Amino acid sequence: MLKIIYIPLRIVIILAILISAPLSGENNAPIIQPGAPGESSKNLDAEAATAIADSSYTKADVSFLQGMIVHHQQAIVMSSLAPKRTNNQTILDLALRIDVSQEDEINFMESWLKDRNENVPNLNEMDEMHGMHQMDEMHGMHQMDEMHGMDQMDGMHMHLDMVGMATPKQLEDLRNSESTDFDRLFLQLMIAHHDGALVMVKDLKGFVGSTYDPVLNEFVSDLVNDQGVEIERMNAIAVGLSDDPRAGLAPGLFTADEAILNMELITSLRKPTGFFDPSNPSARGSEDTTLKKKEKEETSVEAASALRSPMLSFANTDMAFRDDVLIAGSYHGFNIYKLNDNGIPDLVSSVVCPGGQGDVSVVGDILIMSVEQVRSRVDCGLGGVGKDASPERFRGIRIFDISDLSRPKQVGAVQTCRGSHTHSVVAGPTADGKIIVYNSGTGSVRDSDELEQCVGNIPGDQRTALFRIDVIEIPIADPSKSKIVSSPAVFADPETGSLAGLWRGGDHGNDTQDTRRTDQCHDITVFPSANLAAGACSGNGILFDITDPYDPKRLDVVTDVGFAYWHSATFNNDGTKLIFTDEWGGGGRARCRAWDPLTWGADAIYDIVDNKLVFQSHYKMPAPQLETENCVAHNGSIIPVPNRDIFVQAWYQGGLSIMDFTDSANPVEIAYFDRGPIFEDILSSGGYWSTYYYKGYIYGTEIARGLDVFKLIPSEYLSEDEITAAANAYPVIGPDVFNPQQQVPMTWSSD
């Protein structure tokens, strides 16, 4: 048998050199470094020649460090104020730690620049020219260009903003504050300052060739890690300073602290058997041994990402209601409950059909379910599907017969090119016995080998599945014949015909977030009685005319500089107002921290005037949350109080809040409920996916824990008569049905 011996590549190279080298004497051939065109070359010794490979740097590296020195100096200035303005030892220790660390990093950055004969900002000079507290007036690097000759960057026109710098007004306010007021403002400004440094690093790495120098790369990596950890510490301190009862609640899966206002928690039902792992009910991941263990302290996000998640996801998702039936969706399938007169659900059956998203709607005895994950199978099996094209994979709309609640049966399915993240029941049953559904797929476009009609990113190909929604018909008599009947290009430019006619992706300028390209709608909420629909569509909010449900037309399009991902839309009861939500981070990140702007991950409230969307205000759950709590706006519904606009909103691990937006320019929080995080040390997805009002009760699907039921109680904001009226409201037309993306106006008895 032939034995193969593997020789390390390094040894092979050395042997090759030895074989090719002259057998006698050393190679004294010169090592040449050419100059620029027209300049002479120079000789290098071996050490200098090899060092060039490890010392390469770009003008972006230089600009970054020059700006970061100034950036760090402001942190030192702010920290120096603490000893005379607070006696909070935690703040004093924090300020000292920042002062020492920032000074050390400034010394490194100055040395790095000096070693390479690059300009070093003169901080003493800046003290005199700008008084240090006015450095923000430089608005980034362009004024430093004038001071230090940094504008000569070989035509790169580079602009690296010093993000997170406090304004003169903010610094003046900090100087004039004391005690707890100083503590809060100091933390707010310092967290924003540290986060700005992280943004600067991100911007730097966007320049090709940056941070190639190994010393600089290590410094930047340490900066990101240290500042991220420090931000978490500061946010925890800031949360502890809040007087909101929801701030800083103790963690636990079923033992977390709770805070409640103007509501009563009726019951909490844990997930049914088969919809959680008994050995790991919290779904905490196990250690991923394939990852190199970091020696430094990690942020909660980094710690979570180092864990290997369980293979199956049991996350609870959306709900639908019909008469006295509640269907709760899940990434694992769905659960059917019967509602008692006291609002408490009794489990009837559990249907295991993995694949996520699991959003559900109900029309008569037909249950519709959205499926998007690539692991989903046509037969609802647990085996999963590999990455190669497969006829066993299912992504799209599943259709079930639930006439027997104890034994639902899959009776139809519609494969779609991008799966189904959500769907909307537009009409049905129609006169000809059909259900019309809008499908919103947000996933990647499937390979044509798997689904023939699918076309992805082929330049110029107008058949692409991007920039469209699917219109699906479901024949009630034979759901197996359900199909896509049209795929209107709802984002096209009406003049040029370009399919990508709306937001192309990116940010809206300084201090704004990146917003995804508008090539799909996450949610389309229909208001059939007014022939209107509202689309929360990646980078835009859209108002549609659905007079012809097969061919929706845009009436108006809006953007919001604070929104990262337009997620959902809800009309008020008479269809004259709209609430859009921003699901920043896809629901997997904390966005209700003490320092997060109240316009990010928030609601945006619009009046509808002559078929145009007129912005009125933002609203966000006001209680600061920890880094271990994913918190951002998600699904909610109208509470039908006569002559009032009341909205109950899920905020994931921010709990739920109830908002009065009768005055759309001045929304007011009137009730809330919140629990502490699932874990103390890591960020894990949990909290409310959806909170919906139905027949006098608020139901909340808790992603990790189960199903909660609440009841409103009289308060200064809602009278007992108003609460009773809401409980007795009924649809203007049709049966008692609630579907997430379908709104029917409610009315009240004249008695």
Instruction: Decide: 309 and 704 in contact? Cβ < 8 Å.
Output: no
Residue entry with tokens 């010794």: 45
Determine how many CB atoms are found less than 10 A away from the CB of residue 743: 27
Asked if the bond preceding 429 is cis, omega within 30° of 0, the reply is yes
Per-residue HEC secondary structure of 337-377 comes to EEECCCCCEEEEEEEECCCCEEEEEEECCEEEEEECCCCCE
User: How much is the average pLDDT of 55-72?
Assistant: 90
How is residue 264 written in tokens?
């009563």
Which residues of 529-624 form beta strands (DSSP E)?
Answer: 532-537, 540-545, 553-558, 566-571, 577-582, 603-609, 612-619
Question: Which of 150-154, 425-429, 514-518 has the least mean pLDDT?
Answer: 150-154
- The H or E element spanning position 179 is helix 179-204
- Model confidence at 132, in pLDDT bands (50, 70, 90)? very low
Instruction: Decide: 228 and 198 in contact? Cβ < 8 Å.
Output: yes
Residue 99 CA to residue 23 CA, distance in Å, equals 60
> How far is CA 584 from each of CA 322, 564, 597, 702, rounded to the nearest angstrom?
31, 5, 12, 19
What does the pLDDT look like over 517-551, one tens digit per residue? 999 999 999 999 999 999 999 999 999 999 999 99
Residue 361 CA to residue 133 CA, distance in Å, equals 57
Beta strand 366-371 with 396-401 is: antiparallel
What does the pLDDT look like over 455-485, one tens digit per residue? 987 777 888 999 999 999 999 999 999 999 9
What does the pLDDT look like over 87-104, one tens digit per residue? 999 999 999 999 999 999
User: How much is the average pLDDT of 159-168?
Assistant: 78
Residue 653 CA to residue 621 CA, distance in Å, equals 11
Q: What is the mean pLDDT of the chain?
A: 89
CA atoms within 13 A on the CB side of 376: 27
Judged against a pLDDT cut of 80, whether residue 5 lies above it is answered with no
> How far is CA 333 from each of CA 192, 336, 370, 672, rounded to the nearest angstrom?
41, 10, 10, 29
Helix axes 59-80, 89-115, angle to 10 degrees: 150
Judged against a pLDDT cut of 90, whether residue 27 lies above it is answered with no
